[in-house]
Amino acid sequence: MTDITPDKQTPRAESPLREAWGMFLRNHAAVAALVVLVLICFTAVLGPWLYPTDPFEMVWAPFSPPGDNGFLLGTDYLGRDLLAMIINGARVSLLIGLAAALVSIFIGVTVGALAGFYRGWVEEVLMRITEFFQVLPTLLFSMVLVALFGASLPMITFAIGVVSWTAVARITRAEFLRIRELEFVMASRASGVPNAKLMFGVILPNALPPIIVQSALMVGSAILFEAGLSFLGLTDPNVVSWGQIIGSNRQYILDASYTVTLPGLAIFITVLAISLVGDGLNDALNPKLRQR
Amino acid sequence: MTDTPLLSVENLSVRFEIKRGGWGKKSYLYAVDDVSFQVPKGQTLGIVGESGSGKTTAALAVARLVPAHQGVARLGEDDILSKEGEDLRRMRRRVQFIFQDPYSSLNPRKRVADIVREPLDSLSDKSEAEKKKIVDDLFEAVGLRPEQQRLFPHQFSGGQRQRIGIARALATQPELIICDEAVSALDVAVQAQILNLLRRLQAQFGLTYLFISHDLGVVQHMCDSIAVMYMGKIVEQADRLSLFNNPQHPYTRALLSAVPRVDHPGQPSRNRVLIPGDPPDPNNLPPGCRFASRCPIAKPDCSQREPLPQSIGTTHSAACHYVGTDALDAIGMAD
Amino acid sequence: MALLEVENLRIELSTRDGTAPVIDDLSFHLDAGETLSFVGESGCGKSMTALALMGLLPERIGRIASGAIRFDGEDLTKASPARLREIRGNDISMIFQEPMTSLNPVFTIGEQIAEVLRAHQGLSRQAAWDHAVELIDAVRIPNPKGRAGDYPFQMSGGQRQRAMIAMALACKPKILIADEPTTALDVTVQAQIFDLLRDLRAQTGTSIILITHDMGAVAEMAERMIVMYAGRKAELGPVAQIINHARHPYTQGLISCVPHLHDVLTEDRPELFEVPGIVPSLRDFGRDECLFASRCAHVTDQCRSARPPEKSFEGGQIADCWHAEAM
């Protein structure tokens, strides 16, 4: 056994966050996924400057295979540079994924927190509403929203967010129900802490771990959702997204399969990376796995 | 004990609504049923009882952490139960709570200095410098080092966490501190440290304790007077010596005789008062004495007629029809 | 020959900081029909000893590093998993602290007891059920025929613990390990369970290993006890003798730091005896010194220089303390 000298010094103040980060670093798959994800984000942000080809411009003969005339990923049916499209598409896909996740977190956490904290009729009403949204056919509902109000980026984001907040609401409510009975919440009440602060200053920080994990996974599913919508043509024609590339090239899948598979691969890698990071977060934030 | 009581509770009841499915009639579970007690200033009243006796609920009601259904609780001259808003906040400053579980009673996301400071932030209008000074003094009073203030709860042992909980309870200089099973989750050696600390602090700050516990040994050590609860009722109430040396209620006798002792190792307690079975269903209580179903001296009458507290001397009362009769001799205590 | 003999048992637990000996050089024996009690604070290794006896150490985390556990002459540390399964339940069985979580909530208690009988004794369905009802009666649950059809959640804590005992005794084990069996129960129910265990032992001759933190329970239930501290034995011997004259300062502390009930209470209320500090952390386990030294009032340089040897006294009392004679 390695001999460890006991330190009688006061230990460093080790915040729960720092400790969770330590746990995260031990999950190699998650760390690798995080690196990939950071690279994808860099590409999304800086890519258009580093590779300034216009994704809408016809630059070469249609259906040029990857590598042809220096176009690394080839061109699509209109002769547009696929690499430029995927780089620019990353922006839109990630942006919609993040924004839609934020929308659903905002709705879900608010609804779940109020229901779990106040219980009684507030809980009844809010959870019935949640159930109503849960049983809606999500794809159909968001298609209706986009079809009615126009296929702009904010509208698509909102449509995705508004159909996917129910899971967050249920998780938040469950966590609130559990945590509000813990003694430290009782102690804060005995200390006269007002309700709003109890909800968002005392209970919510302790309810965050599963919400964070769920949110990470939701970014992934929002990207998939957006891809689905744009595949069906419900997309802003002025921007390019991964799903839209697949959708517009879908007729040529047999002749030029790379025009569909390459953006598909981009979606796959991104969503997989997000899932792995979410998994790592779950392990890192789950107090059962952490030793006391 | 002629001092005016600091805390005086009269006819306190706490009930919880039970859902019986559908829109049927609401029914209620009386966790605390018509309970009265007093705690003189600077003293400790112990409430003992088994699980489900309502002792913790009574304490939570006094601290305004669960709503009371009926009754009066006075702190000095002020009625605790009717306070709202600013008055309630002022009252909370005077009544603080120490919780059972040292692991769940501290917010894991906060530094311990902030945890101890929380009551000051919410309940007082002291300046930052004053608060800092108070927190420093409290850490010293409960035996923690100043440099530990920056740490998070999970970096402390159970005993140290309970010290932090005590410091938090002392922050607003309360008059009454309610200790709800404050040492039951601790190992015995640490339990002794905390019990000694509580008694030292009581002498130092003139504190009054309402001490809730299931451990008769601890109650015997800590309390000046004791109330024994069973199924929401106080069955016996007495000063420390009378209760332990001359218990009058059959339940108190059974409880005392059930505690394993170290005095006579190798043999089971003599004169054990056997009470068979389990407590009755709290949703469906008998009209009379709630202990009748397990009582060794119960007569048919007992489950029909409710016994009222009867005085035995000035500081002792028991709610049993047979107080002071021969019937009790059948369950005589050791020696 | 003793029913169970444990020799120089060492159990290692792997942690983030390396391996730690959670049981360090422990030797004891258990006679047939005897009650032996393990006492100590949480984390001292009481429960780990029980798990080792059952062959149930947490996989990949804990392992028996050296030593022998001889049950009826057979070394359990070398037994195959299949043989251990056979011994568990048949010859050694165990009851736990929380009877709610150790019973399966989706089966009735009758079914669960009958299942044990069918698995270990090959009884038919009907015979097993009938025997289960008899066992439920033996642990004094009223109306055994009716209650056998109850699910665990329909019973009180005390009755669940009785059901656990019935299940543990189903195959007439030679050793019953009770790990804090009454810690979650009320004191009047605890008294009933202790009475039950005492009577069952008298009827069946089962040896009992009682793991507890309550010196009162030890005094009432056991003939001999072992005081554990930081994975090591601090003191071992007859209960009455140790309570009257403990030779290890930790045992003395454990006995006098608890406010016990006494036959006659007096006005006198001295401060409780304090054992300062807390138990050492796992990474300090296994050091070649007295692990209690930092909390001990009688500490000398010798205590910090080497692990104290066993010192034997009359009556089979053994204390692992450099200054045991002077205590």
pLDDT digits (tens, 9 = 90+) for B269-304: 556 777 877 777 777 788 889 998 888 888 888 888
Distance CA A243, CA A230 (A): 5
Determine contact: A137 vs chain B, CB below 8 A. no
Model pLDDT, residue A287: 58
The β-bridge relationship of strands C224-229 and C35-39 is parallel
Model pLDDT, residue B24: 59
Dihedral Cα C236, C242, C245, C251, nearest 10 deg: 70
Asked if residue B269 is part of any domain, the answer here is yes
Chain B residues whose CB is inside 8 A of the C272 CB are 192, 195-196, 221
Model pLDDT, residue A6: 38
Domain range for B305 is 248-335
| C283–A4 CB contact, under 8 Å | yes
Model pLDDT, residue B27: 80
- With CA atoms as reference, the chain B residue closest to C251 would be B189
Model pLDDT, residue B18: 78
Chain A residues whose CB is inside 8 A of the B144 CB are none
Determine contact: A181 vs chain B, CB below 8 A. no
Asked if residue B96 is part of any domain, the answer here is no
Q: What is the DSSP letter of C298?
A: T
What confidence category does residue C319 fall into, taking pLDDT thresholds of 50, 70 and 90?
very high
Q: What is the DSSP letter of B23?
A: T
Model pLDDT, residue B332: 58
**Which residue, B272, B210, B265, B216, is CA-closest to B244?**
B216
- CB count within 10 Å of CB B146 equals 12
C119 vs C250, higher pLDDT: C250
Model pLDDT, residue A4: 33
Mean pLDDT confidence for C276-302? 89
Tell whether the torsion through CA atoms of B106, B110, B114 and B118 is positive or negative. Answer: negative
Out of A14-23, A137-146, C1-10, pick the least confident: A14-23
Which CATH number fits the domain that encloses residue A277?
A: 1.10.3720.10
The total of structural domains in chain B comes to 1
Find all residues with CB under 8 Å of A36, minimum gap 6, and list them: A269, A273
Distance CA B81, CA A274 (A): 52
First to last CA, chain C: 32
User: Given a cut of 50, is residue A2 above it in pLDDT?
Assistant: no
User: Given a cut of 70, is residue C256 above it in pLDDT?
Assistant: yes
Residue segments in chain B with a per-residue pLDDT below the cut of 50: 1-2, 334-335
Model pLDDT, residue B333: 52
User: What digits encode the pLDDT tens for the residues C105-160?
Assistant: 889 999 999 988 888 888 899 999 999 999 999 888 888 888 999 998 888 888 88
**Which residue, B172, B190, B211, is CA-closest to B89?**
B172
User: Given a cut of 90, is residue A289 above it in pLDDT?
Assistant: no
What confidence category does residue A20 fall into, taking pLDDT thresholds of 50, 70 and 90?
confident
- C191-194 CB contacts, 8 Å cutoff, 24+ apart: C191/B257, C191/B258, C191/B260, C191/B269, C191/B272, C191/B274, C192/B274, C192/B276, C192/C140, C192/C158, C193/C158, C193/C161, C193/C162, C193/C165, C194/B260, C194/B268, C194/C220, C194/C221
Q: What is the DSSP letter of C271?
A: P
Model pLDDT, residue B267: 62
Asked if residue A236 is part of any domain, the answer here is yes
Chain C residues whose CB is inside 8 A of the B257 CB are 191
Asked if residue A5 is part of any domain, the answer here is no
Inter-helix orientation angle C157-169/C187-204, to 10°: 20
Distance CA C94, CA B328 (A): 40
Distance of CA C151 to the CA centre of its chain: 27
Model pLDDT, residue B181: 92
The total of structural domains in chain A comes to 1
Asked if residue A9 is part of any domain, the answer here is no
Joined tokens for residue A270 = 């991104």
Asked if residue A64 is part of any domain, the answer here is no
Joined tokens for residue C42 = 């949480």
The β-bridge relationship of strands C92-95 and C175-179 is parallel
The pTM for the full model equals: 0.84
Asked if residue B79 is part of any domain, the answer here is no
Asked if residue B276 is part of any domain, the answer here is yes
| Most confident segment among A129-133, A261-265, C46-50, C185-189 | A129-133
**Which residue, C204, C152, C136, C146, is CA-closest to C175?**
C204
Determine contact: C274 vs chain A, CB below 8 A. no
**Which residue, A52, A76, A53, is CA-closest to A64?**
A76
Model pLDDT, residue A1: 32
Mean pLDDT confidence for A203-230? 87
- Work out the minimum CA distance from C207 to partner chain B, whole angstroms: 16
- Work out the minimum CA distance from A194 to partner chain B, whole angstroms: 8
Phi, psi of C39 (to 5 degrees): -125, 150
Burial code (b: 16+ CB inside 10 Å, e: under 16) for A76-106 equals beebbbbbbbbbbbbbbbbbbbbbbbbbbbe
Mean pLDDT confidence for A89-103? 90
Asked if residue B323 is part of any domain, the answer here is yes
User: Given a cut of 80, is residue A62 above it in pLDDT?
Assistant: no
User: Given a cut of 80, is residue C305 above it in pLDDT?
Assistant: yes
**Which residue, A186, A198, A191, is CA-closest to B123?**
A191
Distance CA C59, CA B246 (A): 54
User: Given a cut of 70, is residue A9 above it in pLDDT?
Assistant: no
Q: Please, which residues bridge with residue C66 across strands?
A: C10
Model pLDDT, residue A35: 94
Phi, psi of C125 (to 5 degrees): -55, -50
Asked if residue B312 is part of any domain, the answer here is yes
Model pLDDT, residue A126: 94
The β-bridge relationship of strands B208-213 and B176-180 is parallel
Domain range for A276 is 18-57+69-290
What confidence category does residue C28 fall into, taking pLDDT thresholds of 50, 70 and 90?
very high
User: Given a cut of 60, is residue C220 above it in pLDDT?
Assistant: yes
- CB count within 10 Å of CB A127 equals 19
- With CA atoms as reference, the chain B residue closest to C142 would be B277
Asked if residue B311 is part of any domain, the answer here is yes
Q: Please, which residues bridge with residue C88 across strands?
A: C92
Model pLDDT, residue A119: 85
Asked if residue B160 is part of any domain, the answer here is no
User: Given a cut of 60, is residue A14 above it in pLDDT?
Assistant: yes
User: Given a cut of 50, is residue A99 above it in pLDDT?
Assistant: yes
User: What digits encode the pLDDT tens for the residues C9-18?
Assistant: 999 988 777 8
Task: Please count the residue pairs, one from chain A and one from chain B, whose beta carbons lie less than 8 angstroms apart.
Answer: 74
Mean pLDDT confidence for A166-185? 92
